[in-house]
Amino acid sequence: MAPGMSLFSVNAIIILSIDDGSRIFAKYYDPPHHAPNASGASNNPYPDLKSQKAFEKGLLEKTAKQTGDIILYDNRIVLYKMESDVMMYVVGSVDENEILLYNVILSLRDSLHLLFKQSVDRRTIIESYDLVSLAIDEIVDDGIILETDPTIIVQRVSKAPAQDVNLSRIDLSEQGVNNLAQLGKAKLTDWLRQGL
C-alpha cells in the first residue's frame, strides 16, 4: 500500500434544519492513522464546537440557494441533499473521490426513507434519533465507509420485534452456551464466505 493511501474518506456527516440552521445531527471524524500534531492538538480542522458551528452556518448559507448536489467549501468536497425541512451533508477532503462520497449521501437519504416509510423531516429525525444514529454508524465508522446499500443498512438497524422473548426457552446450561457458540461460528463462516 502506498504511503498516502487510506480507507479514511469522510470528514463529517451533518444534518441541519433549513428553517433556523440548527444542528440536528453532526459527527466529525479524525483520521485514525494520524497522530496529533506537534502542539498535541488534533488534525481535525474543526476541533471544537465553535469552529464546527461556524463551518455549519457557512455551509447552510452556501447551499440553501444552490440546486446542485456538490460544492467545494472551505477546501473540502461537500455533497448534500435536501429533504423536506432538513439538509444532509457528507464532507470529504478535497482530493477524495466524489462518486464514493455521493454514494454515501444517497445511502443515507435512501436508508432514512426506508426506515421511516414517510417523509424525512426534522421532527421524524428527532423522534427517531437512535435509528438515524445507528444508520449513520452502519454507513461510516471513524471516517471509513462500511456500507452503502440502504436495504442492508435498514435490516441492521430496524427495531427489534415488539413481542417479549420467552426467557424460559433459552438454555443457559454449559451445553446450551456451547451450542450457541457453534451456531455463531457457523453463521460467521457462512457470512464471510458470502462476502468474499
- Write down the domain spans for the chain: 12-157
Q: Could you report the per-residue pLDDT of 42-94, keeping only the tens digit for each?
A: 567 788 899 999 999 999 999 988 888 999 999 999 999 999 899 999 999 99
Task: Give yes or no for a contact between 21 and 60, defined as CB atoms under 8 angstroms apart.
Answer: yes
Q: Could you report the per-residue pLDDT of 110-160, keeping only the tens digit for each?
A: 999 999 987 899 999 999 999 999 999 999 998 999 999 999 999 989 866
Measured distance between the N- and C-terminal CA atoms of the chain, rounded to whole angstroms: 20
Q: Rounded to an integer, what distance in angstroms lies between the CA atom of residue 182 and that of residue 92?
A: 41
Q: How confident is the model at residue 166 (pLDDT cuts 50, 70, 90)?
A: low
Q: How confident is the model at residue 161 (pLDDT cuts 50, 70, 90)?
A: low
- Count each helix (H run) and each strand (E run) in the chain, helices first: 6, 7
Q: Rounded to an integer, what distance in angstroms lies between the CA atom of residue 74 and that of residue 50?
A: 16
Specify the pLDDT at position 118. 72
Q: How confident is the model at residue 10 (pLDDT cuts 50, 70, 90)?
A: very high
Q: Over 70: is that where the pLDDT of 163 sits?
A: no
User: C-alpha grid cell for residue 64?
Assistant: 440553501
Q: Rounded to an integer, what distance in angstroms lies between the CA atom of residue 107 and that of residue 156?
A: 14
Specify the pLDDT at position 188. 81
Task: Give yes or no for a contact between 16 and 89, defined as CB atoms under 8 angstroms apart.
Answer: yes
Q: Rounded to an integer, what distance in angstroms lies between the CA atom of residue 187 and that of residue 182?
A: 9
Average pLDDT over residues 175-180: 76
Average pLDDT over residues 27-55: 74
What's the predicted TM-score (pTM) here? 0.75
Q: Tell me: domain 12-157, CATH 2.60.40.1180, correct?
A: no
Q: Rounded to an integer, what distance in angstroms lies between the CA atom of residue 129 and that of residue 131?
A: 5
Q: Over 60: is that where the pLDDT of 162 sits?
A: no
Specify the pLDDT at position 14. 96
Please report which helix (H) or strand (E) contains residue 83, including its range: strand 76-83
Closest of 148, 144, 13, 4 to residue 78, by C-alpha:
13
Q: How confident is the model at residue 36 (pLDDT cuts 50, 70, 90)?
A: low
Q: Over 60: is that where the pLDDT of 24 sits?
A: yes
Q: Rounded to an integer, what distance in angstroms lies between the CA atom of residue 34 and that of residue 4?
A: 11
